[in-house]
Amino acid sequence: MNPAPDQFASIARGPGPGDEHDTLAARNSRLVPGDSIAVKIRRFDRAEGIAAYQEFSVPYRKWMRVLDVLNAIAERDAPDLAYRWFCGSKMCGTCAVRMNGREVLACWEAAEPNMTIEPLRNLPVIRDLVVDRAPYENKVASLEPWIARTSPYPQFPEPLNHRQMKDASKALDCIGCMCCYSACPVIGLGDLTNFAGPAPLVQLAQTALDPRNDPEKIKRSLAETGIFNCVSCYKCEEACPASIPIVSRIIEPLKAKAAQLVPEMAKHSLALRDIVATRGRVDPTALILRVQGYRVLSGLSRAIRLLMRGKIDPFKTVFNIRTGAASAASRLLGKDIHRK
Ligand code: SF4
Ligand code: SF4
Ligand code: FES
Q: pLDDT (tens digit, 9 = 90+) per residue, 94-112?
A: 999 999 999 999 999 999 9
Residue 215 sits in the same domain as residue 257: yes
Query: Which ligand ends up closest to the CA of 228?
Result: 1
Report which DSSP code applies to 337. G
Range of the domain at 46: 5-131
Residue 275 sits in the same domain as residue 257: no
Task: Note whether residue 295 is domain-resident.
Answer: yes
> Does 202 sit in the ligand 1 pocket, CB within 6 Å?
no
Query: Which ligand ends up closest to the CA of 108?
Result: 3
Decide: 182 and 120 in contact? Cβ < 8 Å: yes
Decide: 217 and 150 in contact? Cβ < 8 Å: no
Task: Note whether residue 90 is domain-resident.
Answer: yes
> Does 93 sit in the ligand 3 pocket, CB within 6 Å?
yes
DSSP for 66-91, written as a single string: HHHHHHHHHHHT-TT-----SSSSSS
- Give SS3 for 19: helix
Residue 249 sits in the same domain as residue 319: no
* Amino acid occupying residue 4: A
Number of domains into which the chain is organized: 3
Of all protein residues, the one whose alpha carbon is nearest to atom 3 of ligand 2 is 240
Q: Closest by alpha carbon to 175, among 84, 93, 85?
A: 93
Task: Note whether residue 288 is domain-resident.
Answer: yes
The whole-angstrom separation of Cα 280 and Cα 228 is 23
Q: Closest by alpha carbon to 236, among 307, 185, 292?
A: 185
Query: What CATH number is associated with residue 138?
Result: 1.10.1060.10
Of all protein residues, the one whose alpha carbon is nearest to atom 7 of ligand 1 is 230
**What is the Å distance from ligand 3's center to 209 Cα?**
27
> Does 228 sit in the ligand 1 pocket, CB within 6 Å?
no
The model's pLDDT over 75-98, given as tens digits with 9 standing for 90+, comes to: 999 999 999 999 999 999 999 999
Task: Note whether residue 101 is domain-resident.
Answer: yes
Q: Closest by alpha carbon to 110, among 146, 69, 82?
A: 69
Please state the pTM of the whole predicted model. 0.82
> Does 254 sit in the ligand 1 pocket, CB within 6 Å?
no
The model's pLDDT over 144-199, given as tens digits with 9 standing for 90+, comes to: 999 999 888 888 888 888 999 988 999 999 999 999 999 999 998 887 888 999 99
Task: Note whether residue 156 is domain-resident.
Answer: no
- Give SS3 for 261: helix
> Does 171 sit in the ligand 1 pocket, CB within 6 Å?
no
Residue 185 sits in the same domain as residue 252: yes
Test site for ligand 2: of 244, 247, 248, 250, most ligand atoms within 8 A of the Cβ? 244
